[in-house]
Amino acid sequence: MRLQGKVAIVTGARKGIGEAVALALAREGADLVMVSRSIQSDSELVREIEKMGRRVFVKRVDVGDQSQVEEMVEDTLRNFGRVDVLFNNAGIYKPAMLWNMTAEQWDDVIRINLTGAFYCLQAVAKPMMKQKSGSIINVTSSAGLIGTIGQVNYTAAKGGIYALTKSAAKELAKYGIRVNTIAPMADTDMTAKIAHDPKLSEKYLERMPMGRFGQPEEIGPAVVFFASDESSYITGQTLCIDGGMVML
């Protein structure tokens, strides 16, 4: 098992990509801190991971609240004694055209998707610096790399993640901490309106050489790779997992 003995925090862990990644990390031996605003400690997902023999700690956290994020990391250290991996995945989606977007829609998405990601990164960086090791995997998107219509808040936040990853990677490399990001395009609740609408999906599929939307389970292996020592000489990079829609 590639992650045996490692402790991983997964934000946005209740469903979709977060759920799939939590399962993938657990299968490779990682103990988990599963974070969401609405996750239940007795959920089917938690029970499935515990049956693998993994230790699981469940924490309800609003990542846009810095004090809650700091408490999350403190609880992780109290329960496990270390933190090796952060999958920085929590995010929300509030679309609107530029001229109709409210201040609340803008602020809510930036607070969770960008500021929240920064809070989580900053909070885990401190114990990782003491350990002289760690892997942080952020989540951007094709929207943050090339832009899209009706999502200026989301694209701004995800574009910020792209830049945040590069700067954090440069600052933390000397401490043995790697920071990378993935840009997935998968069929989840967040993309359901696109993936299951014939007209919308056709427009997206025309831009995907592989001609289909990915599944959350196809994201997990890439995160395991970045979490493991197999990527020990990789930092500051963005991996697009989108069927070829964006080619950097």
Q: Which residues are catalytic?
A: 154
Q: Where are the alpha helices (DSSP H) in the chain?
A: 16-27, 44-51, 66-80, 103-109, 116-131, 142-146, 152-172, 192-195, 198-205, 220-227
Query: Do 90 and 12 touch, CB atoms closer than 8 A?
Result: yes
Helix (H, G, I), strand (E, B) or coil at 135: strand
Residue 80's beta-bridge partner residues? none
Q: Which residue matches tokens 């029970």?
A: 47
Upper half-sphere CA count for residue 155 (Cβ side, 13 Å): 14
Starting at the edge strand found earlier in the chain, the sheet holding 238-241 runs: 56-60, 31-36, 7-11, 85-88, 134-139, 177-184, 238-241
The C-alpha angle 193, 97, 210, rounded to 5 degrees, equals 40
Strands 31-36 and 238-241 turn out to be: unpaired
Q: CA 176 to CA 119: how far, in whole Å?
A: 20
Longest alpha-carbon distance in the chain: 51
The C-alpha angle 34, 40, 41, rounded to 5 degrees, equals 70
